[in-house]
Structure 1
C-alpha cells in the first residue's frame, strides 16, 4: 500500500473515532417503538446562530423619538414649584425638542452599551479589550463612522483602584483586568455634539459593595439637590454629607469614605464636555447658582485614601483641542500642522485619545502632539491617583435643566 493510501486510511479511522466520541446524530432508541412498529428517533439538535445584540439604535426607534429619562420636580422657591404647570415654560421647553431628543438618543445608547459591557467584561481581559468592547458598541449603535455627527463623547475611561480618573490604555498597554480590581467605567456618547456623560464602578469581588453603595447614594443626593437656582456649594454639601456618613471595612481596617475634593461635576456645552462651571462634591462656599437650560453632570468620587488626587506619573492618554486657544500660537512642525487638521476633521473639541489616532491610521505623531500641547492648542489630561493602596469609586449622571422640570436623562434600571 502506498504512503498516500495509508494516510487516507488513518484519516478515515481518526474520523470514525471522533464520531464515536462526539456523534453528530445520536443512534436512535429502538426500545420505544410505537404500535405501527415505527422507531422513535431523537431529533437532531439545531444550532441557531446567536442573534447580534448590537445594531444601529435607529432600527429600534423607527419614528426617531427616544425614551425620556427620569423626571424630577424642582424644589426651593415658589417660582420653581410652579414651573411644571407654567404654560409659558412648557412652550419654551417644546421649542428645544430636537436638542432634548439628541440627548435622549445618546442616553439610550449609553444604557444599552453599559448593559452589554457589564455582561461581557470579565477578569482576564486586557484593558484595551475592555475599552474596545465599549467603544465599538457605541459606534455600532450610533450607526455612523462620522465621529463629529455622533459617537464617543470622550475616550472610555477604565481607571483602576487608586486611579480615580483619566486612564484609558494606549497601544501596547498589557494591563489585565483582575477579579479584585475596582474599575471606574466612564464613557460619553454624543449626538450632534450633545454629550451624555455617565459613569459607574464595576467590580467582581463583593467586598467592595459598601464603597460602591456610598458613592451611588452620594450621587443621588447631588442629583436631588441640583436644579435651577440651586447653589453649587449646597450641592457639594449634600454629596459630602451622604458620602462621608459611610464606612467600609477592608482587610481588617475600617475606612470612612471620603469625597475626592478636587474632582468635580460640571456643566456640558455643545461639543464641549466641560462647559466652564465646576460642581463641587464638598461644601466650598461657592454661591453661584445653576440656570435654566443648562446641561449638567453630577459626578461624585469616593475614596478610602486621603480624598485628594494628583498626577503621579501615569502615561498620558486623554487629549482635547483647546476651545479657547491662545491667538497666533506658533506651530513650526509641518507634522503638527497636519495633526491639527486631523484633529479638527475627526474630533473638533470632542476629547480623544492616542488609540483613536491609531485607529484612523495616524503614525509617529507623538512629537507633533507634544508641540500642540506645548503651544496650548491641545490640552492633555493625565491619569489622577489617590494614595497607593487605596480604592476609589465613581458614579455619574447627566441632568437636563428644562424650564419646567429636571430630567435625569441617563438614568437606567441599573443606577
Structure 2
C-alpha cells in the first residue's frame, strides 16, 4: 500500500492518531469555553471576549505538533460568537462594535478548534446572574439540554437522521418551547465542518435533506437551538454578519482591487475553515467582501433574531461514534436550573435512559486511557 493510500484509509476514527487529534482539539475548545465564560460579566464588551476566545484557541493549538516534519494546520475552526437573548447565533462583532453584556442576559457561546483539520465544536448557554435560573430562561435551556441528551443517544450506528429530528421537536414541546428552524447538525470530516450527512432540526416542506443512517467511526456536530418564541428567526441587519466561509467550488475574476486583496488574504489565511471579518485587514474589508459575496465566492453565516422578548438557548457538541459507543468530547456543565415544566412523556424518558456505550463482544480491543474532557 502506498503512503497516499494509507493516508486515505486512516483519516477516520479507525486511526488512533485521528482520535487523538479530535480529542486534543476538544480539550482546547472546552478550556476556551471556560475562559470565555469567566470573562462574561456585566458591561464587558462582547468583541473583547470573542477576541480572547479566538486568541486562546490559536495559542493553544499553535503549541501542538510544533516539532513534526510535515506542517500541520491548526487553530480556530469556528470563530467565537456570543449571541444574547433573542439573537439566535453567529454574533461575533467587529472591533468597532460597542455592544456590552448586561445582568440577566441569556448568552449563547459558540466556538470551534481544529488540529490538522479534525474539528471539535461546542456551544453553551449561560444566564448572566448568580444563583438558580428560573422561569422561561430555565425552560428554554432545559429544553435545549434535554434535546441534546436525547440526540446523543439517538445519533448512533443503525439509527436514522429522521428519528433525531422528530425526537428533539418532541422534547422542545414538552418544555413549551420550539426547536429553531434552519439549524442543521452536520457530519464532520477532516477539513469539512459541514459534511453531506445532516440532521434537520425541524421537518418543513421547504427544507429537505436526504435520509441518512449513522455509521460507526463517523463524527457529528450535534446542534440544538430552542426558543420560547416561534422558532422562525429573521435576518434583521446584514451588516451584523461577520462570519464567512470560502465557497471552494466557486470561481470568479474579481474586478475591484479591494476585493482581490481581501480574497487573496482569505485564500492565504482561511482557505477552508469559517473566519471572522475581524481577522482581515479591516480598512478594506467591507468594500472587498461585497463583490466576493455578490459572486458567491463566500458563504455568509447570518446573525438571526427571534422577536424581542423571546429567549433562545443553544447547545452544540461534538460526538465520535466509536466502536464501543458514542463519545461526547465537547461540553460544559450547566448552571442550576429550575424549569417550570417537567418531562413526563414515557417515550422521552425511555430515550434518556438509553446508554451511550455499547457492550463489548468477546475480548474486544485493549482500551487506552483517555483524557477527561468534561
**Residues 363-400 of structure 1 deviation map (CA, whole Å, 9 limit, x = unaligned):** 32322211111112112222011122211001011112
- TM (normalized to structure 1)? 0.69
Residue 412 to residue 100, structure 1, CA distance change in 2 (3 Å): farther
1:103 paired to 2:27:
no
* Residue 355 (structure 1) aligned to one of 267, 278, 283: 278
Instruction: Figure out how many residues of one structure are paired with residues of the other and give that number.
Output: 311
Paired position in structure 2 for 1:210: 139
2:328, 2:13 → 1: CA distance? 17
Residue 184 to residue 413, structure 1, CA distance change in 2 (3 Å): closer
Q: CA deviation at 1:94?
A: 7.2
1:384, 1:94 → 2: CA distance? 34
Conserved 8 A contact 1:259-1:303: yes
2:51, 2:121 → 1: CA distance? 18
* Residue 115 (structure 2) aligned to one of 169, 173, 191: 191
* Residue 225 (structure 1) aligned to one of 149, 154, 157: 154
Residue 152 to residue 300, structure 1, CA distance change in 2 (3 Å): same
Residue 93 to residue 406, structure 1, CA distance change in 2 (3 Å): farther
- Secondary structure of the structure 1 residue equivalent to 2:293: helix
* Aligned CA-pair RMSD: 2.5
Gaps of 5+ in 2: 1-9, 335-373
Paired position in structure 2 for 1:5: none
Conserved 8 A contact 1:317-1:381: yes
2:38, 2:108 → 1: CA distance? 16
Conserved 8 A contact 2:186-2:220: yes
Q: CA deviation at 1:288?
A: 2.2
Residue pairs, 1:54-203, within 5 angstroms: 95-143=14-62, 149-203=73-127
Q: CA deviation at 1:281?
A: 2.6
Paired position in structure 2 for 1:74: none
Residue 332 to residue 403, structure 1, CA distance change in 2 (3 Å): farther
Conserved 8 A contact 2:179-2:224: yes
Residue 94 to residue 203, structure 1, CA distance change in 2 (3 Å): closer
Q: CA deviation at 1:93?
A: 7.7
1:131, 1:394 → 2: CA distance? 17
1:275 paired to 2:200:
no
Gaps of 5+ in 1: 1-90, 247-255
Paired position in structure 1 for 2:248: 323
2:202, 2:266 → 1: CA distance? 36
Paired position in structure 2 for 1:23: none
**Residues 339-366 of structure 1 deviation map (CA, whole Å, 9 limit, x = unaligned):** 22211211111111111114xxx53232
Paired position in structure 2 for 1:406: 326
List structure 1 segments (4+ residues) > 6 angstroms apart after TM superposition: 91-94, 145-148
2:75, 2:11 → 1: CA distance? 28
Conserved 8 A contact 1:240-1:283: no
Conserved 8 A contact 1:93-1:402: no
Conserved 8 A contact 1:161-1:182: yes
- TM (normalized to structure 2)? 0.77
Conserved 8 A contact 1:150-1:190: yes
